[in-house]
């Protein structure tokens, strides 16, 4: 009997052991599947972590046909007739098999400068009948710590797609022939450091003769563009070529594009539209425009230090000390995240609207975004919508660096211990202080060198690697911002006075889907309106809210027309109309008794659009109708408007949803009555 019990216990132990082994094996298999199966892993992460921290949306889900929804999220009716058209509009020959030589290009700068420069050098190569070598991006090739599995251009863009898309435009090769490679290594080929926005005739008279003589030239492009934005009428096809490069040939490499697509899916998972917001608050932009006093503490000193550096190099010619308050009143400084948040809330976007913050840098750090988080519950970015593993995977196989990240500063008691050690009497004596640590500076943190030196230290290897990673971060943000339901910029100029990241996004949206809502607020007017209620900004009166809403609505069209006069002269990609667009009027606009054709025609005339879309586009479905005539009417008599900024405080209470329902029904009633 005892032997039977012992045998039974032994058998049960073996069964338990086998079960344990199978469980461990099952976990191991699931780990491998999650680790190496991209789609499954992404869906798993999306279902578990993405948006899990967000509150349930309490505002009423608006019908897509309601006037309020159309005003906040719907297309801009006056721009629905504009369509992308970057194909040649006349006779356009294939590139000649007998070229004048090779053009090798080195491009320096950030994301938006690289993108603009690539489009320009393709047009220059076509103009000179030259063979273009795939450009070299200095942000990656000249920096240490970057994965060697990617070539320079392929670190950011898909090289094969780029070459295939332009096969009928220009001859492109991956590398120079061997004989010219050795000549370049020996610095025997002529080098041109081309000026910003150079004339086509500069290349015709200065570069072409040297190209023909040596069969190769090297161009160094450093300011974000090497060809003037507005070309003579006889070079109209080169404008279309630049659009084909920017909007069709330049595709991000596949794994970067896949991650951006996953982030877009996660943003749209709740079934609600979202806003993309680019602050544009970089250190260089703030220094160039003299906006240091928008910040406090060490940040203002850092901006002034950068401005002094720019003055030494001739980037700016103004005074070192600038009255930032006057610059702000002139509209020369970025709108802060808080100011943009107030604009959006005043226009009618509810506190639970999803805001996606783009851009590789927000100077001042996350504390600058705290007011925006206070106004909107769901402020997210690429880091909150992806895992660290997904982000690190796009960097490639980077080697571990010997250099470690800066450590915490030594304790304040070290100096006291050192004095006690020197001045103490006979034993027992206090322990000696730890050995002195080498000074380390964290450029992304508090910039400790400012208090001790007038010279900014050289970037560490870790920081150089991070700068290259920013190209990938901005590629992800660019994709999300172009596809967003609404886009609003905080600033539209970079650290050299040229169109910035946000400008390229607005230009791409104008080309791809002109009717999508893209606000272009007049910063001077916004500052004036905000200063009117500076002391009680979160308890705004109804007339002020009406003024804000009028301005936001007008910025959809007036801001676009203003950009055609302002941004267009600096960058075609920031305003590719009319060269890369065509007009396809809706049938309703041609009716003799139509009420809106005159408004639409005025907008088209102001933008200079004269090309009619080709016949094959006429078969596409016409977008809409008489319903959109009132899509942007504002609610001037809404009695609940003054409570707009207070809604969030009570939104978690039992009556919060009732307030939302009442407010939104009043919005709809007012707009259906007519608006202004």
Please report whether residue 275 resides in a domain: yes
What is the spatial distance between Cα 351 and Cα 56, in angstroms, rounded to a whole number?
12
**SS3 label, residue 40:** helix
pLDDT value for 640: 42
What is the spatial distance between Cα 322 and Cα 331, in angstroms, rounded to a whole number?
14
Give the pair of three-digit tokens for residue 209: 């003769």
Q: Are residues 246 and 113 in the same domain?
A: yes
Residue with tokens 């920017």: 246
Give the pair of three-digit tokens for residue 43: 């869906």
pLDDT value for 614: 84
Give the pair of three-digit tokens for residue 655: 């009556």
Final residue before a domain boundary, out of 544, 574, 604: 574
Please report whether residue 501 resides in a domain: yes
Give the pair of three-digit tokens for residue 136: 């070299």
Cross-strand bridge partners of residue 107? 137, 221
Give the pair of three-digit tokens for residue 632: 């942007």
Give the pair of three-digit tokens for residue 143: 């920096």
Phi, psi of 137 (to 5 degrees): -95, 110
Final residue before a domain boundary, out of 557, 574, 591: 574
Q: Are residues 231 and 120 in the same domain?
A: yes
Residues 6+ apart with CB under 8 A from 620: none
- Tens-digit pLDDT profile for residues 124-157: 999 999 999 999 998 777 666 788 788 889 999 9
Please report whether residue 431 resides in a domain: no
Q: Are residues 261 and 339 in the same domain?
A: yes
* Residue spans of the chain under pLDDT 50: 37-58, 404-405, 441-446, 591-596, 622-634, 636-644, 646-676
Helix boundaries (H) for 229-297:
236-244, 254-268, 283-288
What is the spatial distance between Cα 157 and Cα 526, in angstroms, rounded to a whole number?
37
pLDDT value for 220: 94
Question: Left (φ > 0), alpha (ψ -120 to 50) or beta: where does 225 sit?
Answer: left
pLDDT value for 432: 65
pLDDT value for 476: 96
Q: Are strands 82-84 and 581-583 parallel, antiparallel or unpaired?
A: antiparallel
Which residue range is the domain that position 230 belongs to? 102-251
Residues 6+ apart with CB under 8 A from 282: 359, 361, 363, 494, 495, 500
pLDDT value for 258: 96
Q: Are residues 469 and 567 in the same domain?
A: yes
What is the spatial distance between Cα 452 and Cα 61, in angstroms, rounded to a whole number?
56
Final residue before a domain boundary, out of 511, 546, 574: 574
For residue 232, the tally of other CB atoms under 10 A from its CB is: 11
DSSP string, 431-461: PPPPPPPPP---TTTT-GGGGT-SSPPPPPH
Q: Are residues 137 and 226 in the same domain?
A: yes
Please report whether residue 521 resides in a domain: yes
- Polymer length in residues for the chain: 676
pLDDT value for 444: 42
What is the spatial distance between Cα 488 and Cα 520, in angstroms, rounded to a whole number?
7
- Nearest CA-CA partner of 387 in 48, 30, 624, 154: 48
Q: Are residues 159 and 263 in the same domain?
A: no
pLDDT value for 6: 59
Please report whether residue 211 resides in a domain: yes
Phi, psi of 111 (to 5 degrees): -55, -55
Give the pair of three-digit tokens for residue 614: 């080709």
Please report whether residue 223 resides in a domain: yes
Q: Are residues 507 and 525 in the same domain?
A: yes
Count up the domains in the chain and report the number.
Answer: 2
* Helix or strand holding residue 34 (H, E): helix 2-36
pTM score, two decimals? Answer: 0.82
pLDDT value for 408: 54
Q: Are residues 354 and 233 in the same domain?
A: no
- What per-residue string of b and e applies to 19-41 under the rule 16 or more CB within 10 Å gives b? eeeeeeeeeeeeeeebeeeeeeb
Residue 667 in contact with residue 638, Cβ under 8 Å? Answer: yes
- Tens-digit pLDDT profile for residues 289-321: 998 877 766 778 888 888 988 898 888 887 888
Please report whether residue 638 resides in a domain: no
Cross-strand bridge partners of residue 517? 486
- What per-residue string of b and e applies to 465-475 under the rule 16 or more CB within 10 Å gives b? bbbbbebbbbb
For residue 415, the tally of other CB atoms under 10 A from its CB is: 11
DSSP string, 525-585: HHHHHHHHTGGGTTS--HHHHHHHHHHHHHHTTHHHHHHHHHTTTT-GGG--TTTTEEE--
- Nearest CA-CA partner of 400 in 147, 26, 570, 620: 147
Residues 6+ apart with CB under 8 A from 19: none
- Nearest CA-CA partner of 548 in 347, 330, 329, 350: 347
> What CATH number has the domain bearing residue 158?
3.40.50
Residue 573 CA, chain-centre distance (Å), reads 14
Q: Are residues 138 and 183 in the same domain?
A: yes
Please report whether residue 579 resides in a domain: no
Q: Are residues 142 and 172 in the same domain?
A: yes
DSSP string, 359-370: SS--TTGGGGGH
Q: Are residues 246 and 267 in the same domain?
A: no
Q: Are residues 144 and 191 in the same domain?
A: yes
What is the spatial distance between Cα 149 and Cα 35, in angstroms, rounded to a whole number?
21
């Amino acid at each position: 009997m005892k032997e039977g019990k012992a045998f039974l216990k032994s058998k049960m132990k073996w069964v338990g052991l086998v079960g344990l082994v199978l469980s461990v094996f099952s976990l191991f298999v699931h780990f491998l599947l999650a680790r190496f199966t991209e789609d499954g892993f992404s869906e798993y992460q999306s279902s578990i972590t993405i948006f899990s921290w967000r509150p349930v949306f309490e505002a009423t889900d608006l019908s897509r046909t309601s006037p309020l929804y159309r005003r906040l999220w719907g297309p801009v009716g006056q721009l629905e007739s504009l369509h992308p058209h970057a194909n040649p509009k006349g006779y356009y020959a294939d590139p000649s098999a007998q070229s004048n030589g090779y053009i090798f290009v080195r491009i320096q700068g950030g994301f938006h400068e690289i993108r603009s420069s690539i489009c320009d050098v393709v047009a220059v190569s076509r103009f000179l009948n030259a063979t273009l070598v795939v450009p070299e991006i200095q942000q990656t090739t000249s920096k240490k710590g970057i994965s060697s599995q990617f070539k320079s251009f392929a670190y950011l863009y898909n090289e094969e797609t780029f070459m295939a898309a332009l096969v009928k435009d220009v001859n492109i090769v991956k590398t120079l022939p061997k004989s010219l490679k050795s000549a370049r290594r020996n610095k025997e080929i002529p080098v041109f450091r081309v000026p910003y926005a150079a004339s086509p005739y500069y290349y015709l008279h200065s570069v072409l003769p040297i190209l023909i003589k040596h069969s190769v030239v090297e161009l160094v492009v450093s300011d974000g563009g090497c060809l003037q934005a507005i070309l003579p009428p006889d070079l109209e096809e080169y404008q279309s070529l630049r659009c084909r490069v920017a909007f069709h040939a330049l595709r991000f490499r596949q794994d970067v594009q896949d991650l951006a697509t996953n982030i877009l899916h996660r943003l749209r998972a709740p079934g609600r539209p979202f806003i993309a917001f680019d602050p544009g608050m970089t250190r260089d932009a703030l220094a160039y425009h003299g906006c240091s006093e928008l910040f406090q503490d060490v940040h203002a000193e850092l901006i002034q230090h950068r401005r002094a550096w720019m003055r030494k190099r001739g980037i700016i010619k103004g005074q070192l000390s600038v009255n930032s308050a006057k610059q702000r009143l002139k509209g020369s400084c970025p709108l802060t995240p808080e100011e943009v948040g107030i604009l959006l809330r005043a226009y009618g976007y509810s506190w639970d609207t999803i805001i996606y913050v783009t851009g590789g840098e927000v100077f001042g750090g996350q504390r600058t975004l705290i007011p925006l988080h206070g106004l909107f519950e769901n402020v997210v970015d690429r880091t909150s919508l992806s895992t660290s593993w997904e982000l690190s995977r796009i960097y490639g196989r980077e080697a571990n660096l010997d250099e470690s990240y800066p450590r915490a500063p030594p304790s304040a008691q070290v100096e006291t211990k050192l004095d006690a050690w020197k001045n103490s009497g006979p034993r027992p004596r206090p322990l000696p202080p730890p050995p002195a640590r080498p000074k380390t500076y964290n450029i992304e943190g508090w910039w400790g060198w400012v208090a001790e030196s007038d010279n900014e230290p050289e970037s560490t290897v870790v920081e150089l690697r991070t700068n290259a990673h920013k190209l990938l971060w901005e590629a992800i943000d660019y994709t999300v911002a172009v596809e967003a339901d609404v886009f609003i910029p905080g600033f539209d100029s970079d650290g050299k006075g040229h169109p910035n990241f946000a400008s390229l996004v607005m230009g791409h949206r104008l080309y791809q889907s002109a009717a999508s809502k893209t606000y272009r607020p007049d910063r001077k007017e916004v500052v004036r309106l905000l200063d009117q209620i500076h002391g009680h900004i979160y308890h705004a009166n109804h007339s002020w809210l009406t003024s804000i809403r009028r301005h936001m609505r007008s910025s959809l069209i007036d801001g676009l027309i203003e950009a055609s006069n302002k941004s267009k002269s600096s960058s075609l990609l920031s305003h590719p109309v009319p060269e890369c667009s065509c007009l396809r009027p809706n049938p309703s606009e041609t009716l003799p008794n139509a009420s809106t054709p005159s408004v639409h025609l005025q907008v088209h005339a102001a933008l200079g659009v004269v090309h009619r879309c080709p016949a094959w586009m006429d078969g596409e479905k016409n977008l809409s109708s008489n319903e959109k005539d009132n899509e942007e009417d504002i609610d001037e008599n809404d009695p609940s408007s003054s409570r707009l900024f207070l809604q969030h405080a009570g939104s978690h209470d039992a009556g919060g949803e009732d307030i939302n329902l009442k407010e939104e029904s009043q919005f709809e009633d007012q707009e259906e009555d007519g608006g202004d």
